[in-house]
Amino acid sequence: MPLGLPDDPGPARLDRARIARAALDLLRTDGADAFSMRRLAAALQIKSPSLYWHVRSKDELFDLLVDDVLGTVPLPDGDDGPWDERLRDLGLALRRVLLAHPDVARLMPGRTPFGPNGLALAERVIGVLRRAGFDDRLAGYGYLLLMFYVVGFAAQETAFGKGPDNPERLTEISRFLGGLPADRYPNVVAAAGTLTGRPGLTDRFELGLTGILNGLDRDRASSR
């Protein structure tokens, strides 16, 4: 026992929260392609089979990561303000959170976001809609439409190199599109610059979100 470190606790004890945190770090620093249970174990200074005491599988771990990230979305807690404004704010907040975790965002399509935090989010969204006069059916669909739009948008956005990370992917795509033969793809070439421009996408996201909420409103009106 080395002197001067009388109470060195060694690496902290393993639990699901610590595993999730390390997994998020590993995804963020090394990317999804480099992620593996063995590397995650190494980052935690542990052997990989130990992970399976705390987590059933890699897939379940990914579900956990998604739910952890969803847990950081601020939910409106009162019940004041028009329903569409509240859902618009929630959509914007969800996108911001997903852009901050691009790899987790890309994990989401293909998954069903019904961990504790995902359920809390669903409960809130469906509640807002029902209290605004949507019947159960339309409220359920409204939730799905909102989630599909926001998650789908954010997941693809990060793939284009938008989002905070790798701007070099952006310029690579931009060069490719801009270098296309202009006689064959005149329209793509003309728009190549903006296909890979960053700031305008947030406006377009909001535009689509507003359009969807307007559509829901018309849906509600025609149902009564």
Partner DNA sequence: ACCTGAACACCGTTCAAGT
Under the criterion CB under 8 A, does residue 170 sit at the interface with a second copy? no
Are the CB atoms for 43 and 11 separated by under 8 Å? no
Residues contacting a second copy: total by CB under 8 A: 65
Cα separation, 191 vs 109, whole angstroms = 28
CA 36 to chain centre: 20
Q: Among a second copy, DNA, none, what binds residue 99 when CB lies within 5 to 8 Å by partner kind?
A: none
Binding track over 6-25 against a second copy, x by CB under 8 A: --------------------
Please identify, using beta-carbon distances, which residue of 53 and 221 lies nearer to DNA: 53
Instruction: Supply the DSSP symbol for 81.
Output: S
Binding DNA (rule: CB under 7 A), the pick from 24, 46, 120, 188 is 46
CB of 96 to DNA, least distance (A): 29
Among 25, 23, 122, 135, which residue's Cα sits nearest to residue 75? 122
Under the criterion CB under 8 A, does residue 201 sit at the interface with a second copy? yes
Distance set, CA 173 to CA 8, 81, 122, 177, 196 (Å): 50, 42, 36, 6, 7
Instruction: Supply the DSSP symbol for 199.
Output: T
Cα separation, 104 vs 25, whole angstroms = 11
Q: Among DNA, a second copy, none, what binds residue 140 when CB lies within 5 to 8 Å by partner kind?
A: a second copy
Please name the residue that has the structure tokens 């409106």: 76
Q: Among DNA, a second copy, none, what binds residue 82 when CB lies within 5 to 8 Å by partner kind?
A: none
Q: Which residues bind a second copy (CB under 8 A)?
A: 106, 108-112, 114, 119, 122-124, 126-127, 130, 136-137, 139-141, 143-145, 147-149, 151-153, 155-160, 173, 176-177, 180, 184-188, 190-195, 197, 200-201, 204-205, 207-208, 210-216, 218-219
